[in-house]
Structure formats: structure tokens, C-alpha cells
Homo-oligomer: A and B are copies of this chain.
Amino acid sequence: MKKIKPLSWQSIRDEVFRRISQREWLPGEPIPNETELAVEFGCARATVNRALRELANEGLLDRKRKGGSKVSLHAVRKATLDIPVTRQEIEQRGAVYRHVLLEHQVRAPTAEIRGKMPENKALDLLFLRSLHLADEAPFLYEERWINTALVPEALALDLNAISANEWLVNNAVFSRMDLKMFAANATARQAEHLQTPKETALLMMERTTWQGDEFVTSVKLSYAPGYILEASM
């Protein structure tokens, strides 16, 4: 077994990646354990561990105690999706950001939203509708529910000055986020706000953030036609 130069965990990661890519190590098959690789590469086991851990995080390896490390049978690749603050996303495109608060009221949640809450709590929630503009053109329309039990400060805010989106990102505590993306034909209301013909295909996103098992905020976003959501890995 030829001894190879690398010292850094990155080089080891790359070398292991190469062996998997070039099918020296086949899907489903075990690879040498950390100690053996450390000997082969002439480095500490911790360094090998770091390299293999990264590859496992990317889904290329399955690792189990005692079971050892195996090349994943079907590499479920994971792409990373950035969730920026809408203002920043617009400004990054070189456009001027503005947002309009269309509706702001405390009301009983819809059945859909109530389903996310514990049975016993029948609190009223803060409901918002707003529009984000890029250079005065409609960019994103949002309908949002905020759990005022968890974020009472939201009630006192001037949401014309700062968008709920931005304020929540900077102030709300949350530990988990669910995210759903789908397409929908524009309803009359969406079409009106986004200044597009009715039935135009819109990219929609629903995001719910949670603090423990209670939801903090849930928002339904409608992107203006032509919006492209990008991700990479």
C-alpha cells in the first residue's frame, strides 16, 4: 500500500472522495477503518476522523460504530439553500428595497395554523400581510402568522419601519424550521399584489419556525413571476 503525502484533513477527504468517485471503493462496500487509514496516510486518527466525518455529512459515507464506514449505496446528496433576509436579497441585486404592510391584526388562527399549535392553547395570533418591493416592482408577497405568546414584543412593533421578516430573523428564538416549496397558479389576490395576470405560475414557499415544539411564526410566500431560487452543493 503506497504511502501518500497529505497531512491535512482536506487532502485526506479529497483522496477518499477520489477513491469513491473513481470506484476504487464501491457503493455498499466497507472502507478501511480509521486506524488503518491513519497508518496509511501517516497521520493521527483524529485527522482521518475529521475527513470521514465531512464526507459522511455530505452523504457519501455511512458510518456506524462497530459496523465501520461504508460507501453509501445511493448517495442522497444534500444541497444547501440559503434563507436570506428579503431586504438583503433585494439589495444584493442592486435594487432599492421597500416593503408595504397591507394588513396587521390580531385574530383567531385558521384551522391550518391551529393544527400547528397545542390543543389547549387557543390564543389569538398576530396576522400580517405584506409586500416586498424591489425598485418599486412587486417582488414577494407574504402572509404571516406570529405566535404572540412566544414573541409578545411583536405586538408593539412598528412593522412599517422594519419588516416582520427582518425583525424576526434578528430577534426571534427558534431552533427548527420547516420549509415547503411548490408552484401554484396565481389567485386573484396574489395577481393583484404581484401585478401579474391571474393564473400565472408562482413559486410559493411556506416556512414555519419552531421553538422547541411550539411554533414561532409561519409564513406563506408568493414570489413574483420569474423568480429563481438557487441552491448548490
Contact = CB atoms under 8 A, between A and B. Distances in A.
Interface stretch (A62-70, A127-135, A156-164, A170-178): A170-178
Contacts of A173: 21-22
A228 B80 contact: no
A225 B230 CA distance: 21
A169 B77 CA distance: 9
A88 interface: yes
A146 interface: no
A199 B201 CA distance: 8
A200 interface: yes
Interface string A215-233: 0000000010111111111
Interface centre among A27, A183, A200 (most CB of B within 10 A): A183
A78 interface: yes
Interface in A169-196: 169-171, 173-185
17 contacts: A23-B171, A27-B170, A74-B166, A77-B83, A77-B177, A79-B177, A79-B179, A80-B81, A81-B81, A179-B231, A180-B230, A180-B231, A183-B223, A183-B225, A199-B199, A200-B201, A201-B201
